[in-house]
Amino acid sequence: MLALFQSIFGSGRSDPSPHPTELIERAIERVVEGTDPRLRALSGYRKHLRDAARHAIDHVVGLVDALPPALDLNPQSYGTEPEITAYFASVGHFREVLESDVTLSDWCRSAEGAAAEHTTLLLLMTLQERKRLGVALEGSAVRHDVVQTTVSFTKHALVDPAATVDETRRLLKRRAFDHLIALALGRIAAAGGERAELERERDLLRRKRAALTAGAWSFEQAGGKPLDPHTMQQRLAEIESQLNALGTGPGLLQAHLDAVVDVLEHAETQFWSARRPLSIDRMGIKQAQAGATAPEISLTELHNAAGQGLVARLVCIAKDALPAQRDLLRDAERYLG
């Protein structure tokens, strides 16, 4: 989605105020272009969006600035650095993640990436927890029916590489703002889907009512119980009311604008982060208390109103820890003989 819009959160700021006018105007244009460009046809759309965009900017800036300092991501630290040991199943898995990540590979091939002594990125992962029966030592007795929780991190992805941590944080603020736009677009799309469902139900009920009026009891609800005309008329009235609330024509555009404004005005309930302590041993088993074999780490979890969640960790990779870039042309020539 980032490529669809012009850049905001630019590295240069000519306006020293907390909310540069240019930034707010760019943000508004980014919102409109990313949701429904037809909003420009509404009188005063910028005025309606200005405070909401300002609030959303404040939120994403605070969210990104609250990310902990970057973790030095080095395969040699596996086994001694608790976070690296938790995030990757093995040193081989660590190297595989870095070697297979397209974003990191493209960055390393770029002029800026090739010249950078350090690369800062955001590592995103999915946290999986599963219950199982395992073995545990209780006193001097070995139990084989102990309920344990295994923890694993999957679907590793690296985003927004840059040569400095400040630049990565700037890119992440833009990404977070775009995520809010995506959520607003989802709200609009859901409203469109709701309208289509209501219209289909309305048309079906109208056909049912016509059949009932003609004395043909041929249409039944899913449960097999026929609807009486009075109940059907009540449901039709409810559907018409809901459709009117969704709006049509200019009213529909206003509903879209209201949905976008609502998402931005309540950005903190749409996209947020939470810190979570976690203690797991080398076998990936969650422990109730931290200890020498299960040190505590602090996770940063990102959540959104759509029910999605990811673990996020700002990381820094030294140039000598990056995977060697493969010569794809030479590989192809070798493969083709």
Identify the pLDDT of residue 2: 35
Mean pLDDT, contiguous 10-residue spans, the chain (337 residues): 41 54 91 89 94 96 96 93 95 94 95 95 94 70 76 94 96 93 87 71 60 43 51 68 62 88 97 95 86 92 93 96 67 53
pLDDT value at residue 164: 96
pLDDT of residue 15: 44
pLDDT of residue 137: 61
What is the C-alpha to C-alpha distance for residues 315 and 123, in angstroms, rounded to an integer?
7
| Domain residue spans of the chain | 1-183+268-323, 184-265
What pLDDT is recorded for position 326? 56
